[in-house]
A and B are shown apart, each in its own frame.
Chain A
Amino acid sequence: MTAKDEPEMITHDEITEMIRNATQSVFSMMLGIDLESCDSFVEEDPPGPSEGVLALIGLAGTWAGSGTFSCSAEMARKISSALLMAEYESINDEVLDAIGEVTNMVLGNVKTSLEEKLGPMGLSIPTVVYGRNFTTRSMAKASWSVVPFKLGGETIKVHLCLAPSRETPKIKSAGEHGRAFLTLMQ
Chain B
Amino acid sequence: MSLDVLIVDDSAAIRKILQRVLIQADVPLGRVYEAGDGEEALNCLKDASVGLILSDINMPKMDGLQLLGALKNQESTKSIPVIMVTTEGGSTKVMEAVNLGAAGYVRKPFTAEQIKEKLAGIV
Contacts and interface: CB of A to CB of B under 8 A. Distances in A.
A101 B11 contact: yes
Interface stretch (B26-34, B74-82, B97-105, B108-116): B108-116
Contacts, number: 62
Nearest to B20: A85
A140 interface: no
Nearest to A99: B13
B43 interface: no
Contacts of B58: 104, 108, 123, 125
A115 B17 contact: no
Given A25-B109, A29-B109, A30-B109, A108 B89 contact: yes
Contacts of A151: none
Given A108-B88, A112-B89, A125-B60, A98 B111 contact: no
Contact of B13 (A84, A120, A123, A125): A84
B121 interface: no
Interface string B16-38: 11001000000000000000000
A97 B12 contact: yes
30 contacts: A26-B108, A26-B109, A29-B109, A29-B110, A29-B111, A30-B108, A30-B109, A30-B110, A83-B13, A83-B17, A84-B13, A84-B17, A104-B87, A104-B108, A105-B87, A105-B108, A108-B58, A108-B86, A108-B87, A108-B89, A108-B108, A109-B87, A111-B87, A115-B90, A120-B90, A123-B58, A123-B87, A123-B88, A125-B10, A125-B59
Interface of B: 10-14, 16-17, 20, 58-60, 86-90, 92, 108-111
Given A104-B11, A112-B90, 18 more contacts: A28-B109, A29-B111, A30-B17, A83-B13, A84-B13, A85-B20, A94-B12, A97-B11, A101-B11, A104-B87, A105-B108, A109-B87, A111-B87, A112-B87, A112-B88, A115-B90, A123-B58, A125-B59
